[in-house]
Amino acid sequence: MATEGYAEALLNRVQLTLVDCPMMTRSSGVVVAVSGGPDSTALLHAMNSLKTRLGFWIVGAHLDHKLRADSSRDAEFVDQLARKLGIKLFLKGVDVRAFASDKHISIEEAGRRARYTFFEEVRQASGAQTIATGHHLDDALETFFLRVFRGSSLQGLRGIELTRGHIIRPLIRLKREEILHYLDEQGIEYRLDPTNLSADTDRNFIRNSVFPLIRERFPGFRKPLERTLHLIDQENKLLDDCASQVSSEAISVSDGIVTINCSTLRTVPLPLAGRAILAALYSLTGPDVRWGSVHVAIIMGILRGSNPSATANLPGSILLQRHYDKIIISHQEEQGFEGTPEVVVTEPGRVLLPWVGATLDLRVVTDRSDLPETLEGMRSAYFDADSVPFPLVVRTFRPGDRFLPWGISGTQKLKKIFIDVKVPRDLRRTWPLLAKEGEILWIPGIRRSRIAPVLTQSSRILEARVSGEKGRFLDFVKL
């Protein structure tokens, strides 16, 4: 086959793949990840050849992992290649071995994190829309086998997808041998990493030891496996759509907090519940944390268990807390306010309650026509102002607190009241209370005390009202 004919046929296939990437539009920018190896070198040449035809622009990005003594030569090679093609190149070096030690992760995982962090930095700095990597069909098949041996779910077996977030894989439908043929036909030089020829990593073992044996017995094994991957991808998309519906009914994600409705999710088949949970977890942490079936099992165990206040520490400094029929998952530093706030209020006005994201407005009313028809409500309470003169105190729960509930004789422990109305444990200690000289006047959103009732002869009435836009306290109060 003529050189031009083979190259053009391969470029046409890459072009068709790019057309299937929804993020690829005319005038869009692409960060091309280039290691200097055959796959990424072929990718850079192909993208450079297609950019005018499809109307996009490209920049290159190379990360020196510093894992080999001669790794700087790869950077020099990529730099010269970019200059030759007239492509702007971003270069960076990272001590991946030290990074792995610091994060207590494998060198392979550390390299992956460092690469994608760098590529994303380049994408944002350059104004590009996507990041193109040199993954091809053989990479997808290797990943499939890796995940089979690790016991992955159907979701994990979909292998390497054409797109993921900002990432695209223009060569994903090409075999490794086709890429090498293209490079050889075109006389394009590339670098070889000798560590890829060993069997020291699981991927290298599959590539260099397992695949040759499979190829010997099943010479055309790639084609049926590619078909299998396609079928898995189709079924995954169907299940993802179903899981998305589950998420809309049982899970919400807002301001870095995942909230799961236990009673709703209990009725959902486990495969769909698991997918919905995994999607929520990844929305919370991004790809830096690897979530899997073991984490879904932990969450489902707590969700179906009998402990209404169960907790669990999850990877990535993520804390799970069950609050009766809800599970809250968030970064640990967002799990509430430390300390016991206390604000002394000397006159009517607005009191900020930053620890719950709300405000308390206090005013003294002398004209009853300025009051609502009913003085009952979740977000407001009314008192005889002369019976509870300023100063007042806004504070939080203290051990041993007792309360004089409206309409009930005697006192009740504040803790018991919180439990009865199912206030989450961590929210109890931050719940704002309106008090006067040690007596709790009002538990906003729950109950007022029988102290200082508004009577017919009351001439001055104290109105207390909480408000705000959002927050767990405000959601509970249902403002």
Q: What's the half-sphere exposure (Cβ side, CA atoms, 13 Å) at 147?
A: 18
The whole-number average pLDDT for the span 251-255 is 87
Mean pLDDT score of the chain, rounded to an integer? 89
Residue 77 has pLDDT above 80, yes or no: yes
CA neighbours closer than 13 Å in the CB half-sphere of residue 192: 5
Distance CA 416, CA 418 (A): 5
Q: Render pLDDT for 344-377 as a digit per residue (tens, 0 to 9).
A: 888 888 888 878 888 899 999 999 888 887 777 7
Scored b (16 or more CB within 10 A) or e, 283-317 reads: ebbeeeeebbeebbebbbebbeeeeeebebebeee
Task: Please give the average per-residue pLDDT across 461-478, as a whole number.
Answer: 80
For tokens 């990844």, the residue is 282
In whole angstroms, how large is the CA radius of gyration of the chain? 31
Task: Find out whether 40 and 181 touch, Cβ atoms under 8 Å.
Answer: no
Spell out the alpha helix ranges (H) of 289-344.
293-304
- pLDDT for residue 334: 46
SS3 247: helix
Q: Highest-confidence range of 200-204, 314-318, 410-414, by mean pLDDT?
A: 410-414
What does the block give as tokens for 396? 């939080």
Please report, for the chain, the start and end positions of each structural domain, with discontinuous segments joined by +. 3-219, 231-334, 342-477
Nearest of 18, 5, 1 to residue 174 by alpha carbon = 18
> What does the pLDDT read at residue 314?
83
Distance CA 128, CA 168 (A): 12
Q: For the domain 342-477, what is the CATH superfamily, name and number? A: Phenylalanyl-trna Synthetase, Chain B, domain 3 (3.50.40.10)
User: How much is the pLDDT for 384?
Assistant: 95
Helices (H), 163-292: 176-186, 202-205, 211-217, 222-250, 262-266, 270-285
**Is the model's pLDDT at 333 over the cut of 70?**
no
- Per residue in 163-190, pLDDT (tens digit) is 988 999 999 999 999 999 999 999 999 9
- The gap between the terminal CA atoms of the chain, to the nearest Å, is 73
Mean pLDDT of 381-394: 93
Residue 208 has pLDDT above 80, yes or no: yes
Which stretches within 20-58 are classed as H helix?
38-54
Name the residue among 80, 31, 86, 37 with its Cα closest to residue 60: 31
Q: Which segment of 10-14, 54-58, 89-93, 203-207 scores lowest on mean pLDDT?
A: 203-207
Instruction: Write the CA distances from 2 to 15, 176, 412, integer angstroms.
Output: 20, 20, 91
Percent of the chain with pLDDT over 90: 58
What is the C-alpha separation between 349 and 336, in angstroms, rounded?
Answer: 26
Q: 320: helix, coil or strand? A: strand
CA distance linking residue 66 with residue 95, whole number of Å: 6
pLDDT at site 335? 46
Cα-Cα-Cα-Cα dihedral of 247, 250, 255, 256, to 10°? -70
Report whether CATH 3.30.465.60 matches the domain 231-334: yes
Q: Are 381 and 451 in contact (CB under 8 A)?
A: no
Residue 469 contacts residue 361 (beta carbons within 8 Å)? no
Among candidate residues 91, 99, 171, the one with its CA nearest the CA of residue 137: 171
Nearest-angstrom CA–CA distance, 191 and 181 = 15
Three-state secondary structure readout of 351-362: EEECCCCEEEEE
Question: Cα–Cα distances in Å, from 357 out to 337, 354, 460, 466?
Answer: 11, 5, 29, 10
Position 395 pLDDT exceeds 50 = yes
Residue 470 pLDDT: 67
Asked whether 82 and 36 are in contact (CB, 8 A), the reply is no
Mean pLDDT value across residues 97-125:
90
* CATH number among 3.40.710.10, 1.10.10.10, 3.40.50.620, 1.10.565.10, domain 3-219: 3.40.50.620
The number of angstroms, rounded, from the C-alpha of 7 to the middle of its chain's C-alpha atoms is: 41
Q: Who has greater pLDDT, 436 or 323?
A: 436
The answer to which of 19-33, 119-133, 185-199, 265-279 has the lowest mean pLDDT is 185-199
Pairing of strands 412-413, 380-384: unpaired
Lowest mean pLDDT among 260-264, 337-341, 344-348, 468-472: 337-341
CA distances from 362 to 370, 379, 391, 410 (A): 14, 12, 12, 27
Q: Is the pTM of this model over 0.85?
A: no
